[in-house]
């Protein structure tokens, strides 16, 4: 038990630059408290002391703001940062070294008594307020963006953002040192709009060149629309050149 607590403290130091001392982590980190109480509840659950186990889980929720069903399986070195509003369902499985931020939900999508909650691989990062729903598998070292809703399997080393979640990056790395930067999430919709507007501008230029070669008369209305669209394109590209959202 003491070795597991030591691992929890080390995980906090690795993932939270605000951690200053081991005593501070032990006394002031609700994610560490929640994991300690969950291990006790999990032990009692396996011994068929289910009512007492659920009561400890409920007490854990009251004290830490983190709700973990006593039957959920959580690996070593997991860190729940801040933790308020985190919900982890009965059949959820969390692999070693995962990083979970506040408001995360590992929820089910059926009332049947089957495996109905997600399975997280090793070193998965789940951003604030993300929801991972159903009996799906999140691969090792995957990253789930803040506010995303994931309802399908995610391959290892992938980055998922959006509602519903979409894979926007697959890059295999030897470690997971580059953690999810919540302020620099890519926007796949923006990227698509960029491409469409850029291609539209190219088509306009090609049409103008063809009209010049064919000596076709230009319509003032068409010229006006082309100029207006060019201005819209310029404004859009200026606003989104650094990947900013709307």
Query: Quick one: pLDDT at residue 5?
Result: 82
**pLDDT(178) > 50:** no
Instruction: In whole angstroms, give the CA distance from residue 32 to residue 35.
Output: 5
Q: Which long-range contacts (CB under 8 A, 24 or more apart) does 195-199 make?
A: 197/232, 197/233, 197/236, 197/237, 198/233
Q: How far is CA 71 from CA 41, 53, 66, 101, in A?
A: 8, 9, 15, 21
Average pLDDT over residues 67-91: 92
Instruction: In whole angstroms, give the CA distance from residue 236 to residue 176.
Output: 34
User: Confidence class of residue 11 from pLDDT cuts 50, 70 and 90?
Assistant: confident
**pLDDT(88) > 80:** yes
Q: Name the DSSP class of 9.
A: H
Residue 36: count of CB within 10 angstroms of its CB: 17
pLDDT tens, position by position, 24-53: 888 889 999 999 999 999 999 999 999 999
Query: Quick one: pLDDT at residue 113?
Result: 86
**pLDDT(150) > 90:** yes
Instruction: In whole angstroms, give the CA distance from residue 200 to residue 226.
Output: 10
User: Confidence class of residue 246 from pLDDT cuts 50, 70 and 90?
Assistant: very low
Name which residue leads in pLDDT, 47 or 166: 47
Q: Name the DSSP class of 139.
A: P
Query: Quick one: pLDDT at residue 224?
Result: 46
**pLDDT(13) > 70:** yes
Pairing label, strands 143-144, 125-126: parallel
pLDDT tens, position by position, 131-141: 999 999 999 99
Centroid of chain to Cα 22: 28
């Amino acid at each position: 038990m003491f070795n597991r607590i030591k691992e929890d403290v080390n995980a906090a130091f690795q993932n939270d630059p605000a951690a200053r001392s081991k005593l501070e982590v032990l006394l002031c980190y609700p994610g560490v408290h929640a994991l300690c109480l969950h291990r006790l509840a999990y032990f009692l659950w396996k011994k068929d002391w289910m009512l007492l186990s659920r009561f400890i889980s409920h007490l854990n929720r009251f004290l830490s703001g983190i709700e973990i069903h006593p039957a959920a399986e959580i690996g070593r070195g997991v860190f729940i940062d801040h933790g308020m509003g985190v919900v982890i369902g009965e059949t959820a499985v969390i692999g070693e070294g995962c990083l979970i931020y506040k408001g995360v939900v590992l929820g089910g999508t059926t009332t049947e008594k089957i495996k109905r909650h997600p399975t997280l691989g090793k070193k998965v990062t789940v951003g604030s307020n993300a929801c991972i729903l159903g009996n799906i598998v999140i691969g090792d070292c995957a990253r789930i963006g803040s506010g995303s809703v994931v309802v399908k399997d995610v391959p290892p080393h992938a980055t998922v953002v959006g509602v519903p979640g979409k894979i926007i990056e697959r890059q295999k790395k030897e470690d997971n040192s580059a953690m999810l930067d919540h302020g620099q999430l890519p926007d796949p919709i923006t990227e698509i709009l960029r491409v469409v507007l850029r291609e539209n501008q190219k088509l306009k230029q090609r049409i103008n060149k063809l009209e010049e070669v064919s000596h076709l008369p230009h319509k003032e209305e068409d010229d006006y629309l082309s100029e207006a669209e060019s201005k819209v394109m310029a404004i859009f590209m200026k606003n989104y050149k650094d990947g900013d959202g709307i």
